[in-house]
Amino acid sequence: MDIIMNLVQWITTIVTIASIVAASTPTPKDDEWIGKLYKFIDLLALNIGKAKEKAPIVESENGDS
């Protein structure tokens, strides 16, 4: 029973910390290494579907997106 309680406690702690990090940092572009790390943090924070924050759209100098 102690193993189950410890497992639930660790999972809750990981999800909570990942949620705090995901909520307090801006979403980077996906093609950078930090973007790949952010995707993993989003997964740990259970940010899926409509809960995910979209990456910012960067416009080029000529006005195209």
Q: What are phi and psi of 25, to 5 degrees?
A: -120, 145
DSSP state of 29: P
Neighbouring C-beta atoms of residue 38, cutoff 10 Å:
22
Question: For residue 63, what is the DSSP state?
Answer: S
Mean pLDDT of the chain: 79
Q: Name the more confident of 52 and 35.
A: 35
In percent, the amount of the chain with pLDDT more than 90 equals 20
Give strand ranges (E) for the chain: none
Nearest-Å Rg of the Cα atoms of the chain is: 16
Rounded Cα–Cα distance for residues 12 and 55 (Å) = 26
| pLDDT given at position 12 | 93
Query: How many residues in total does the chain contain?
Result: 65
